Amino acid sequence: MKKILLGLMMFITILAMAGCKENEPDPDPDPDPDPDPVVIDFSEVYPNSGTYYQLFVRSFADSDGDGVGDFNGITEKLDYLNDLGINAIWLMPIHPSPTYHGYDVTDYYGVNSDYGTMADFENLLNEADAIGIDIIIDLVINHTSNQHPWFQGWLNGDTEYAGYYRKITTGDSRLDNNGAWGQNIWHSMSGGYYCGYFGSGMPDLNWSNPVVQTEMVNIAKYWIEKGVDGFRLDAALHLEGVNEVKPPTIPIDSTLLQLELFQYQIETEYPNIYIIGEIYDAFSVSSLFYQSMDSALNFEIGGEIIHALNAGFSTDYVSKIIRYNEIIDSYDNSGMDAPFLKNHDQDRMASILNGDTNKLKLAAEMLLTLPGNPFIYYGEELGMFGIKSYGPYWDETRRLPLPFGDEFTTSWFPDEFNTNLENISEQMTNPNSLYNTYKSILTLRNNSNALKYGDIFNYEDGDNVLLGYYRVFNYDADNQEIVLVLHNVSNGVYQLYFSDEEVLYYSDGIANFDGSIGPKSTLILRISNEMIGNFYGE
Ligand code: CA
């Protein structure tokens, strides 16, 4: 927080200084006008900052021809992710599990044999580390599989596991709350009911029992020692029973406290571990968790982007983005926003936007110019289609095989959604592909400290058909990088009036920029302090 506030104060100070600088002689000319520049590796200053790629192992890349994605497949395709401009990977659950998705773990210390061996996983960690790609893993802390030895032991009265799970007895008001709602959560067992918020196969752990906390901390440290760079905490909102009754009446304070203790025990020993939580709720709720973790996935931004693209304007997109970051900065823990378009629990962007490539490209440009750590769900860089509930299936069709177009393409599930989609090999060679938009904007972001780490300020006319914001990175009091990002979400063409700028990016290619910004396009300019506010008008 301090860093960002300081940046804002310096920014304002420099603006004030800029006005009077011209008329005043320099009283002390610099005796050494060309000192050797101090090269700072800002990736070490911001160790967990970057663009993350959410990867479903089963669907990503198959190395051994059995049709199922695996660790060695990811290792083989690290170059693909590196070329795209990805800085870190979030692996969806890698632990042994009876289900295809893995969100019901039976052994937190093992790896899913479908995906390979522990040696394969360690090799992936080493190879990714060698090219500077971090790996965080899903840690399913809210619940286990009902086949986990803890749950089986608890059911059987094994005293070692007493208190590991949550149980109520007949007559508890939670059971009957809102009828079916309570009965979907509480599942019959001998002598009462156990909590399974996500179904009877996924019993909720009892986080009020400190032993559960200790188990999870030990598990996290085990994976850190192997080289994992952080954790995405699944269903972190629900640890202490939030939303078990409707309307929610249980305060989330105890959950926040549990997560704060979890973070404290890990980050005191391993300060650079990245902890990001799934708080599947409005930002007003998820933002509370910045006191307990480094990031909380932002479930609002994707919807805001879709709304602006479909409406052709927005009255509050930029101001909302700025507000998100102000709130995050108000927590004193160097929190980073975690924007994303859609994830594995949601319909894919291409399905929502009817395959409109221009909208999909602009969505990518909007996402990847935002502050914080943007998350890309695998396949979004191709415009993959996928919606819920296809025939007898539920979420499988939102998690389909990534079409590499080579022998690594997985085949564990038939894909009838993307038969006409250009695969990766084709999109890489097509300069107008969505893939190449992702790559271009990521290349720009990776070469811009302003876009990677900078603060965000509203452009003077920041919400309209042109959504505009400055990204500003302060090196010191005299040096800063400023970029102006302008998204035209409308179908109109807008003439812009400015000079002495450097065009860093235009959707149709810098060579095609003629001073006006076309429909569903993004323009990014590098500018100087003196130019702020001088763009619009004639
Ligand atoms: Ca395989």
511 in any annotated domain = yes
Helix 357-367 crosses helix 434-446 at what angle (to 10 degrees)? 20
**CA neighbours closer than 13 Å in the CB half-sphere of residue 482:** 23
Contact 383, 357 (CB under 8 A): yes
Helix 253-267 crosses helix 210-226 at what angle (to 10 degrees)? 40
216 in any annotated domain = no
500 in any annotated domain = yes
98 in any annotated domain = no
What DSSP assignment string belongs to 441-466? HHHHHHT-HHHHH-EEEE-TT-SSSE
Q: If you measure from the C-alpha of residue 409 to the centroid of ligand 1, how many angstroms do you get, rounded to a whole number?
A: 10
pLDDT at residue 513, as a whole number: 94
Q: What are 297's strand-pairing partners?
A: 338
Cα 330 vs. chain centroid, distance in angstroms? 20
Neighbours of ion ligand 1 (CB under 5 A): 62, 64, 66, 68, 70
How many other CB atoms are there within 10 angstroms of residue 167's CB atom? 17
Q: If you measure from the C-alpha of residue 355 to the centroid of ligand 1, how many angstroms do you get, rounded to a whole number?
A: 30
pLDDT at residue 14, as a whole number: 35
Q: Using CB atoms within 10 A of its CB, is residue 20 exposed (0-12), middle (13-18) or buried (19+)?
A: exposed
Q: Using CB atoms within 10 A of its CB, is residue 492 exposed (0-12), middle (13-18) or buried (19+)?
A: middle
301 in any annotated domain = no
Report the distance separating Cα 396 and Cα 207, nearest Å: 30
CA dihedral 271, 121, 374, 222 (to 10 degrees): -30
Q: Return phi, psi of residue 374, to 5°.
A: -70, 140
Residues in CB range of 244: below 8 A, 6 or more apart: 174, 177, 182, 185, 195, 197, 250
Q: If you measure from the C-alpha of residue 258 to the centroid of ligand 1, how many angstroms do you get, rounded to a whole number?
A: 37
**The domain containing residue 465 runs over which residues?**
455-536
> What pLDDT tens digit does each residue of the chain (538 aa) get?
333 333 333 333 333 333 333 344 445 555 555 555 566 788 888 999 999 999 999 999 999 999 999 999 999 999 999 999 999 999 999 999 999 999 999 999 999 999 999 999 999 999 999 999 999 999 999 999 999 999 999 999 999 999 999 999 988 877 776 555 566 788 999 999 999 999 999 999 999 999 999 999 999 999 999 999 999 999 999 998 776 665 555 568 899 999 999 999 999 999 999 999 999 999 999 999 999 999 999 999 999 999 999 999 999 999 999 999 999 999 866 799 999 999 999 999 999 999 999 999 999 999 999 999 999 999 999 999 999 976 788 899 999 999 999 999 999 999 999 999 999 999 999 999 999 999 999 999 999 999 999 999 988 766 788 999 999 999 988 889 999 999 999 999 999 887 778 999 999 999 999 999 999 999 999 998 776 665 544 3
Q: If you measure from the C-alpha of residue 138 to the centroid of ligand 1, how many angstroms do you get, rounded to a whole number?
A: 20
pLDDT at residue 393, as a whole number: 86
| Tens of pLDDT, residues 287-339 | 999 999 999 999 999 999 999 999 999 999 999 999 999 999 998 667 999 99
3-state secondary structure 65-99: CCCCCCHHHHHHCHHHHHHHCCCEEEECCCCCCCC
Report the distance separating Cα 404 and Cα 516, nearest Å: 36
Report the distance separating Cα 510 and Cα 303, nearest Å: 29
Residues in CB range of 43: below 8 A, 6 or more apart: 49, 50, 132
Query: CA dist 448 to 227, 341, 443, Å?
Result: 28, 22, 9
Report the distance separating Cα 188 and Cα 309, nearest Å: 47
Report the distance separating Cα 379 and Cα 403, nearest Å: 8
Tokens read off for 88: 């870190």
Q: If you measure from the C-alpha of residue 239 to the centroid of ligand 1, how many angstroms do you get, rounded to a whole number?
A: 34
Q: If you measure from the C-alpha of residue 127 to the centroid of ligand 1, how many angstroms do you get, rounded to a whole number?
A: 18
What DSSP assignment string belongs to 377-403? ETTTTTT----S--TT-SSGGGSPPP-
Q: How many domains does the chain have?
A: 1
Q: If you measure from the C-alpha of residue 314 to the centroid of ligand 1, how many angstroms do you get, rounded to a whole number?
A: 45
Q: Catalytic positions, please?
A: 234, 278
Q: If you measure from the C-alpha of residue 67 to the centroid of ligand 1, how many angstroms do you get, rounded to a whole number?
A: 6
Q: If you measure from the C-alpha of residue 114 to the centroid of ligand 1, how many angstroms do you get, rounded to a whole number?
A: 7
Write the CATH number for 489. 2.60.40.1180
| Tens of pLDDT, residues 466-511 | 999 999 999 988 889 999 999 999 999 999 887 778 999 999 999 9
Q: If you measure from the C-alpha of residue 222 to the centroid of ligand 1, how many angstroms do you get, rounded to a whole number?
A: 25
Give just the sign of the alpha carbon dihedral 232, 236, 239, 244.
Answer: negative
How many other CB atoms are there within 10 angstroms of residue 316's CB atom? 13
What DSSP assignment string belongs to 174-227? HHHTTTHHHHHHEEEETTEEEE-TT-TTSPBB-TTSHHHHHHHHHHHHHHHHHT
pLDDT at residue 477, as a whole number: 81
56 in any annotated domain = no
